[in-house]
Amino acid sequence: MRIVIVGASGNLGTALLRRLHTEPTAAELVGVSRREPDLAVAPYSGVAWHTLDIGSPSAPRKLAQIFAGADAVVHLGWQLQPNHDEAQLWRTNVIGTKNVLAAVAAARVPQLSYASSIAAYSPGPKTTRVDEHWPTGGIPSSHYSRHKAINERALDRFEEDHPAIIVSRLRPGFVFQRAAATEITGLFAGHLIPVSVLRWLRTPILPLPRQMIAQVVHSDDVADAFWRAIDRSAAGAFNIAAEPIIDPPTAAAAFGIRWVPVRLRVVRALADLSWKLRLQGSDPGWIDAGAMVPMMSTARARDELGWVPTVPATDALAEIVHGVGDHANVEASPQLRG
């Protein structure tokens, strides 16, 4: 089986390569990324590599050449920074996805798996679970959520135009692994606060609004879900998250500190001000998304993919917390190096 992974050197891509290296049937792996990792280091070794900007005008043609003969394409490519330049993010996240879809069609790839997100969903309940039929209209104030929702519509059109191609969409919660600690922290802390300094910062409290309730899943478990979707030729959407749900008290416990409730509007105002002053790298849309996305049921993934997460959500969160303290990263990957 020949599998091409777009965005293969990032958080999810690295985990998926680890997973696919254990599958004898995934005999030929191809990686696509903006920057090439160290090909002498696992899991990037044994992978045919192509460096490419998927948002470029020439990307559809080049991607079609790379995709030729593939049994499946997995699209994980995404850009979170520069957060102040939505046009640049749009170029990679939306135009890049459009280019990937065009290349899949041109190369007649029989199967496409796409990394969507819980953030693609419209606002929903925190006390009950929604399935994959919940509307994917996104959170309007979050560029990340808007782009994910727009790509969901692009996938809808793609499925209508190409009914012979199997399309699976995985919608994970927050995806964590220890090796991604430096990358994830750097993305949200910004450039003015070096990641190496963050491990020395300590606070006895975690001020969070009550509405900040999230679902978390380990990167390796998401990678396993992608493989199962490919191996089973599973079409449709699949919610991917581990238990338990991470509410503010649970998050505070992971940090080993005490939760202090604060008003959502206060946290959003502070996030907005600090973002505009470029003191940190995440716009207030991330606060809105965290407070408004629904809680997902993962019954379909468990039933149809036979997927069961192996890492509890609390452990995945703890990996990131401890990883920040240890400045954990992957030197072989330019993206995960931070």
Q: How many C-beta neighbours within 10 Å does residue 222 have?
A: 28
Q: Per-residue b/e over 236-272, b at no fewer than 16 CB within 10 Å?
A: ebbbbbbeebbbbebbbbbbeeebeebebeebbebbe
Distance CA 228, CA 217 (A): 16
Report the pLDDT averaged over residues 161-182: 90
User: Is 262 inside any structural domain?
Assistant: no
Report the pLDDT averaged over residues 101-124: 98
How many CA atoms does the CB half-sphere of 305 hold within 13 Å? 30
What is the torsion angle, in degrees rounded to the nearest 10, for the CA atoms of residue 95, residue 10, residue 229 and residue 28?
Answer: 100
User: Is 337 inside any structural domain?
Assistant: no
Q: How does the average pLDDT of the chain come out, rounded?
A: 91
Confidence check: pLDDT of 174 > 70: yes
Position 273, amino acid: L
User: Is 93 inside any structural domain?
Assistant: yes
**Residue 49: which residues within 8 A CB-CB, separation 6 or more?**
8, 30, 31, 32, 33, 36, 37, 39
User: Is 64 inside any structural domain?
Assistant: yes
Report the pLDDT averaged over residues 80-94: 92
Confidence check: pLDDT of 195 > 50: no
Confidence check: pLDDT of 2 > 70: yes
Confidence check: pLDDT of 13 > 80: yes
Question: Per-residue confidence at 198, pLDDT binned at 50, 70, 90?
Answer: very low
Range of the domain at 230: 2-172+219-240+295-307
Report the pLDDT averaged over residues 47-66: 98
By CB neighbour count within 10 A (0-12 exposed, 13-18 middle, 19+ buried), where does 54 fall?
buried
Distance CA 204, CA 313 (A): 22
Question: Per-residue confidence at 189, pLDDT binned at 50, 70, 90?
Answer: low
Instruction: Give residue-wise pLDDT tens across range 274-323.
Output: 899 988 888 999 999 999 999 999 999 999 999 999 999 999 998 887 76
Task: Assess contact for 117 and 78: CB atoms under 8 A.
Answer: no
Q: Which of 149, 234, 185 is nearest to 11 (CA)?
A: 185
Strand partners, 168: 113, 236
Question: Per-residue confidence at 220, pLDDT binned at 50, 70, 90?
Answer: very high
User: Is 138 inside any structural domain?
Assistant: yes
Check residue 191 and give its pLDDT: 47
User: Is 210 inside any structural domain?
Assistant: no
User: Is 19 inside any structural domain?
Assistant: yes
Distances (CA, A) of 238 to 170, 234, 301: 5, 10, 5
Instruction: Give residue-wise pLDDT tens across range 327-336.
Output: 555 556 666 5
CATH of the domain at 34: 3.40.50.720
Give percent of the chain above pLDDT 90: 78
Domains in the chain: how many in total? 1
User: Is 187 inside any structural domain?
Assistant: no
